Amino acid sequence: MPPKDPESPPAETNASPFFTVPAPVKRLFDKFPLTTYPANEIPRRVQSHDNVNQLFVFTDARGARHGRPSFNPQCLKWQAYLKFVGIDFEITPSNNHASPTGALPFLLPSLPTDTSNPIPSHKLQKWAIEQVHCEEEQQLNLRFEVYASLLDHRIRNAWLYMLYLDSENFNAVARRLYVNPATTNSMVRAALCHQLQQAARDELLKTSRYIDAADLEGDAGGAFEALSTLLGKDEHFFGRPNPGLFDASVFAYTQLILDDNMGWKRNRLGQLLKEHPNLVQHRNRLLKFF
C-alpha cells in the first residue's frame, strides 16, 4: 500500500475502501483548472446571412456553397420542396445534435428578424404554405397519403438496408458521409458506426422478426412499379403543372439511388428503379432545379 496522505481526512478509515480517491488522481485533480479559456464566439457563417432563410441539412461544405442536393433523403425532400414552391433559402451543413428536435432538417426563417424560432421539418409545409400560398396537396387527392406510405415504409426500409446494413455500401457511402466528417478519432468513429447500424437494424426489426433482404428489395421493386404506374406519362405526379411535395418525396430517393457521386458498391435499388424509365426521366427533369 502507498503511504497514507497526511492531508487525507481521518474519517477515511471508516469509509469503504472502494470510495477513497487514490492519491495520484487526487494530486492531478488538485491542479485543475489549469487555465480557463474565454467563451467561444458564435460561428461567423451563421451571422453572415441574416436576411436569408437558412435550411440546416446533412451536406458537405462544397455542397452547401453550390446548393447541391443533400445526401440524406429526409433533408433532400424538404430542400427540393422549398425549391419547387419557389422559396429562397441557403443550405448550411449541420448534424442532428444542432437541431432543436434532434432531427434534420430544420429552417431558420429570415423574417420576422426579432424571433428566430427554428421550424422543424414537420412544420415546414405549413410554413411554406403561409409564405407563398401554395396548395396543401394532401387535400387534393385521396391517393396522396396512400402512395406516400410506399415511400415512407417500403422504399425507406429497403434504403435503410442498402445504406446501413449492406457492409460494402456502409463502408463506402455511409461511413464517408455520416461518420468521417463527425470526428477524426477512430474509436469514436467505430462507436458511431456501430450506433448507426444498430439503429437501422432496430428500425427494421420493429416490423418483422427477421431482416430478409430479398423481401425488402421485392417490396421496394413493387413500390417502384406502383409509383411508375401512378406517374404514367405525366410530367409530375397527379398531373400537376408544377412539381410539389409528392414529387419532392419521390425525388429524394430516386436522386440518391441514381446519383453516381454517392459511390454505391452494390446498388440493387438502382437496378430496380432503372426498370421504370418514366421515374428516371422524372428524376432527371427535377435535377435541373439544382
Question: What does the binding site for other proteins look like in residue numbers (CB under 8 A)?
Answer: 1-2, 13, 17-18, 20, 22-24, 142-143, 145-147, 149-150, 152-154, 165-168, 194, 201, 205-215, 219, 222-223, 225-227, 229-230, 266
Residue number with CB closer to other proteins (75 or 227): 227
Closest separation between CB of residue 191 and other proteins, Å? 11
Residue number with CB closer to other proteins (116 or 149): 149
Closest separation between CB of residue 124 and other proteins, Å? 18
Residue number with CB closer to other proteins (268 or 283): 268
Closest separation between CB of residue 171 and other proteins, Å? 11
Residue number with CB closer to other proteins (37 or 210): 210
Closest separation between CB of residue 212 and other proteins, Å? 5
Please give, one letter per residue, the 3-state secondary structure of the chain: CCCCCCCCCHHHHCCCHHHCCCHHHHHHHHCCCCCCCCCCCCCHHHHHCCCCEEEEECCCHHHHHHCCCCCCHHHHHHHHHHHHCCCCEEEEECCHHHCCCCCCCEEECCCCCCCCCCEEHHHHHHHHHHHHCCCCHHHCCCHHHHHHHHHHHHHHHHHHHHHHHCHHHHHHHHHHHHHCCCCCCHHHHHHHHHHHHHHHHHHHHHHCCCCCHHHHHHHHHHHHHHHHHHHCCCCCHHHCCCCCHHHHHHHHHHHHHHCHHHCCCCCHHHHHHHCCHHHHHHHHHHHCCC
Residue number with CB closer to other proteins (116 or 229): 229
Closest separation between CB of residue 34 and other proteins, Å? 23
